[in-house]
Structure 1
Amino acid sequence: MDLDAELSALAVQRDLPAELVRRLLRHPQARRSAALLRRDLTEELIADIIRLGSARSLAANASVPAHVRAHLAEHPEPTVRAAVAASVEDEPPGLWARLATDQDPTVRAFLAMNEHLSHELLAVLAADPEPYVRSSVVQYGRQAPEPVRRALLTDPDPDVRRTAATVYAPPPDLLPALLADPETRSLAVRHADPSPELAADPDSGVRRAVADHPNLPAELRNRLARDPDIHVRNTIAARPDTPAPLRESLIATAATDDPLTEWVLSFKRSAHTCPPRSPAPPDLTREQAEELLVRAGL
């Protein structure tokens, strides 16, 4: 571990004496780590962090006292206000409403990430004039009430509609319109019954969605196995209910000279897991911490 990483790890070590934390604040990377992750920051340390220029990291720390975060919600830098908006509670009352009308759309979009928001505030953000903000409501307000979901599924902006169709299961009465909309058709397929018409759709994305449908009949599966699009055929090959001989035949015809396409195809057919996290470094004793700080000139 290099020196910067060692200092950052020490900056978030539990039960570290305040005087050592204060010395670490002189190191930019360690200061940002302490500002973001420490839960025991004193008023004095908070003031030092702000003075030294790490207000943005501090604003994202949900353990910082409410009055400090409310103060940071008035910061002149939009990135600081946005960091506050993403997780702050409505303390003092009216803080959310003020952030929901912030002049910078990034702040309003980050407010949409806030899991504490009321349904009323989600509805306000779902009607925001900026499509980017409305898309954030979709991405982070997954438990939005039905009126909000309906509004976003029928949003005038195609990007918002696509995002909403990716996240929300549509009410049955909206499904025909979503299937008729070129922007949402392939995403709505999974909520419809597979049909020969959908399996023959001119849009390969629609046919690929049909090929991935959990209730795909064997007749349509075999038809899509002959699809001219390599990704549609590969989706059939990836299905657990595809007979082994058909799967092997499809894989044999999925060869490509493009390494990226080959990786995408093989990824679809394989099970991938993330590697385990690296173990956290061991805590340092007071003596070891002092030695590290001296080595860093702090």
Structure 2
Amino acid sequence: MLVRHLSERADLGPAQVAALAALDEDTPAQLARSGHLGVADVDPAVWPLAALALLDEGRGLPEWARRFAADPDPALREQLASCPGLPADVEDALAADPDPDVAAELALWTTSASVAARLARHPNAEVRRAAASNEAVPPAALAALLTGHDPQQPGAACDGAHASTVHDTLHRALSNPAAPPEAVAAFVEHPSWLLRRAVAEHPGLPAEAYARLAGDREPQVRASAARNPGSGPEVSRFLAADPEVEVRRAVAHHPRVPFDVLERLTPTTRLGPEPLPRISAATPEELAVGAASAHPRLRMLVAHRHDLPPELRDRLAADPDASVAKAVAPHPGLSPERLRAMVARHGRQVLARVAANPDAPGGLLAELARHEPSARRALREIASHPNATAEALLPCLAGGGRSRVRAAAHPALPAAVIVRLLDDPEPEVVEAAAGNPSLPPAVMAQRLP
């Protein structure tokens, strides 16, 4: 892991690159991805993984792709099949590869509609399964996978593994946004609830299909219909009274749920702290109404908007409910005085969120790092904050865990401390310190094998 972190440094010199490249077969590929090795530095016969890494980055040569397409090692051909922008003749060769794993990998990644359609008709079921999830497959080919995708020869055995492959192929095709809605809608009453859930997640179905899915016996299917941007307000109003909380929560996450429905859901349904799409799209008038609601949870949802008018943002920062204050604490634009007032009012409950505020100055971060009682999450936020000073970072190192690892990687950490951390008993701390841009190059050179 230390070698990997060193390979990703931007300040490597030619001698250091050469020393790292000589360590093993994998490191040249890492150096190629990091930009330290280019076409002129790589011989595909010597460093095949590095050449494939450059092809994957779009920086390799077409003749390399042709070379690997004919390579006897199927693992290299399979890796090639996932590379973007391959020449048409190379894709043709990979599509006809005798190893189905190679063709399946191409089926996952090709952006050519003609190649994708060809692979959707491949005689191997695993290749067809891979193609079913590729959005480059034309709608007609996806419809064929849904209505008659299995070209088994008459009399061929169909064991449990094959049935599982068939089911998974259907699931992938139904989940593919490019699948034609009429072919997907035909599965609204399929016996498999997993397939019905995939149907309920499709964004382009007719309204009557969503209405039928809203009455499905499985809560997970109803929840998918409730959350689907294609379902209308009638579905939202119907499912807002669903007995299952996961369904009501899904209604709240619909991007166009009527605002009055959302307000009714807030007191009875735990919605979580993440921003809701409907709140993100709310008008200024709706936000003002929500911020004045008697329900703290609705005020909290409004407080998650990071583009609130300053006066509304500041009003929510002074909210007496800690959940509302936590939601608004990371917002840009809050003054250090308001952030300090939040900590004074709510204490440890808001420490981590205040520490995550991008405008928190170094002095405030140092105060938060010394706060008693301390909060591990606050130390983790401080340890990766760009405004953190050495004074703020040292308590994070003492805090242990992830905060210690993050602090070891922070460029504001004094060089002498970084050097000491290279001998830390925790491997993750050593790796973080090795990747710290403030580590003196001379020390790094001494550490190279």
Length-normalised TM-score, structure 2: 0.45
Cα 1:243/1:61, change in 2 over 3 Å: same
1:129-159 Cα distance to aligned partner (Å, 9 max, x none): 44444333334x2222323322332222223
Contact 1:179 1:186 in 2 (8 A): no
Contact 2:408 2:433 in 1 (8 A): yes
1:156-188 Cα distance to aligned partner (Å, 9 max, x none): 222332332234541355234135342335654
Question: 1: distance between equivalents of 2:181 and 2:406?
Answer: 56
Unaligned 5+ residue runs, structure 2? 1-128, 130-163, 436-449
Map of 1:180 onto structure 2: 344
| Pairing of 1:27-176 with structure 2 (within 5 A) | 27-39=192-204, 41-53=205-217, 54-64=221-231, 66=232, 68-69=234-235, 71-72=237-238, 75-77=241-243, 79-89=246-256, 95-102=258-265, 104-106=267-269, 112-114=276-278, 115-139=280-304, 141-176=305-340
Map of 1:286 onto structure 2: none
1:56-100 Cα distance to aligned partner (Å, 9 max, x none): 321211123x3543553664446545433323437xxxx323432
Question: 1: distance between equivalents of 2:379 and 2:208?
Answer: 61
Question: 1: distance between equivalents of 2:371 and 2:270?
Answer: 41
Contact 2:202 2:228 in 1 (8 A): yes
1:89-135 Cα distance to aligned partner (Å, 9 max, x none): 37xxxx32343234753287799541221223223333444444433
Cα 1:138/1:7, change in 2 over 3 Å: farther
Structure 1 residue identity aligned to 2:169: E
In the alignment of these two chains, the number of paired residues is 255
Identical counterparts, % of pairs: 22
Question: 2: distance between equivalents of 1:38 and 1:201?
Answer: 48
Cα 1:170/1:7, change in 2 over 3 Å: same
Question: 2: distance between equivalents of 1:196 and 1:19?
Answer: 56
Secondary structure of 2:269 counterpart: helix
Cα 1:251/1:37, change in 2 over 3 Å: farther
Question: 2: distance between equivalents of 1:226 and 1:47?
Answer: 53
Structure 1 residue identity aligned to 2:394: L
Match of 2:360 among 160, 166, 191: 191
Unaligned 5+ residue runs, structure 1? 257-261, 272-298
Structure 2 residue identity aligned to 1:48: R
Map of 2:104 onto structure 1: none
Map of 1:282 onto structure 2: none
Map of 1:248 onto structure 2: 419
Cα 1:197/1:6, change in 2 over 3 Å: closer
| Most deviating of 223-232 and 129-138 | 223-232
Secondary structure of 1:240 counterpart: coil
Question: 2: distance between equivalents of 1:111 and 1:239?
Answer: 29
Cα 1:268/1:145, change in 2 over 3 Å: farther
Deviation at 1:230, TM superposition (A): 3.7
Cα 1:236/1:55, change in 2 over 3 Å: closer
Query: Aligned pair 1:25/2:189, yes or no?
Result: yes
Question: 1: distance between equivalents of 2:387 and 2:266?
Answer: 47
Question: 1: distance between equivalents of 2:331 and 2:395?
Answer: 28
Higher relative contact order (CA 8 A, sep 6+): 1
Question: 1: distance between equivalents of 2:431 and 2:319?
Answer: 33
Query: Aligned pair 1:7/2:170, yes or no?
Result: yes
Question: 2: distance between equivalents of 1:211 and 1:111?
Answer: 25
Structure 2 residue identity aligned to 1:192: P
Length-normalised TM-score, structure 1: 0.63
